[in-house]
Amino acid sequence: MTAYGFEWAAIARGLPYLLEGAGLTVMISSVAMVLALVLGLALAAISQAPGPVARRLVAAYVEVFRNTPLLIQIFIVYFGLPQLGVKLSPFLSGLAALVLYAAAYNTEIFRAGLEAVPHGQFEAARSAGLGELQILRYVIMPQAVRICFPALGNNLVSLVKNSSLVSTIGMVELMFVANDISFNNFRTFEIYGTAAVMYVVIVLALTRLLRAAEGRLLRAPA
């Protein structure tokens, strides 16, 4: 048996491909993030509508997508839906699953934020003559978003890391490229280590961005 010798050259050879994969990881994660935020916010707002129907429908969606593994959702969209005649491209399949999964969490986070705003705020705004949408937009949302910001940030970080699962459906993102290289040169530690560092860099960039956004939000007048 031979001792394991760390091989920098393996990293150097793999680097261009890994960077290319990281590019797709950043791309699919950012698009999924924006869509999951919009969808989550919309569903949270809908769940505040009067009457039980909207609330229950949103709750059903959240339970289904939050209580099943993301990998199963990806496989259902990619392998399962074509059997029902719905054939999304690999990119759209992966994106759809990531968005639906992350948005389920976002919905709960936004809902918690909305419900944390004291009820008196609604009444005060209403008596000031604001309409329902105005109340949501100018009174409730600014406070709710601040409350849920840290939880939201956590979920977005998870989204970046979860995007590695779309490697299973042939999407050539960072995890896929790392598999591809290490399955051929067998420099497992070097290649996955490098990929891990790249994920750290991507997530650090994201958390910085989030911190800047949070700073702006806190500075804005209530």
Partner 1 sequence: MSPIRRSILVALATALIATVAAPAGAQSTLETVKKRGKLIAGVKTDFPPFGTVDAAGKNVGFDVDVAHRFAKALFNDEQQVELVAVTSGNRIPFLQSSKIDIIIATVTITDERRQVVEFSEPYFMSGSLILVPRASAVTSLDDLGGKTVAVIQGAIQDKDVEQLQPKASRVKFGKVSEAVLALKGGRADAYVHDDIVILSLAKENADLKAVGKTFVPRPYGIAVRKGDTEFINWVNAELKKMHTDGTYDRLWKKYFADVEQFLIKP
Separation CA 112–CA 27 (nearest Å): 29
Q: Provide the sign of the torsion angle of the four alpha carbons 98, 103, 108, 110, taken in this order.
A: positive
In whole angstroms, the minimum distance from the beta carbon of 33 to partner 1 comes to 20
- Measured from the CB atom, the residue of 3 and 133 that comes closer to partner 1 is 3
In whole angstroms, the minimum distance from the beta carbon of 6 to partner 1 comes to 4
In whole angstroms, the minimum distance from the beta carbon of 38 to partner 1 comes to 29
In three-state form (DSSP H/G/I as H, E/B as E, the rest C), the secondary structure along the chain is CCCCCCCHHHHHHHHHHHHHHHHHHHHHHHHHHHHHHHHHHHHHHHCCCCCHHHHHHHHHHHHHHHCCCHHHHHHHHHHHHHHHCCCCCHHHHHHHHHHHHHHHHHHHHHHHHHHHCCHHHHHHHHHCCCCHHHHHHHHHHHHHHHHHHHHHHHHHHHHHHHHHHHHHHCCCCHHHHHHHHHHHHCCHHHHHHHHHHHHHHHHHHHHHHHHHHHHHHHHCCC
In whole angstroms, the minimum distance from the beta carbon of 53 to partner 1 comes to 35
In whole angstroms, the minimum distance from the beta carbon of 181 to partner 1 comes to 10
- Measured from the CB atom, the residue of 85 and 129 that comes closer to partner 1 is 85
In whole angstroms, the minimum distance from the beta carbon of 27 to partner 1 comes to 19
Give contact residues for partner 1 (rule: CB under 8 A): 1-6, 78-79, 82-83, 87, 90, 168, 170, 176, 179-180, 182-186, 188-190, 193, 196-197, 200-201, 204-205
- Measured from the CB atom, the residue of 75 and 122 that comes closer to partner 1 is 75
- Measured from the CB atom, the residue of 144 and 175 that comes closer to partner 1 is 175
- Measured from the CB atom, the residue of 20 and 180 that comes closer to partner 1 is 180
- Measured from the CB atom, the residue of 48 and 168 that comes closer to partner 1 is 168
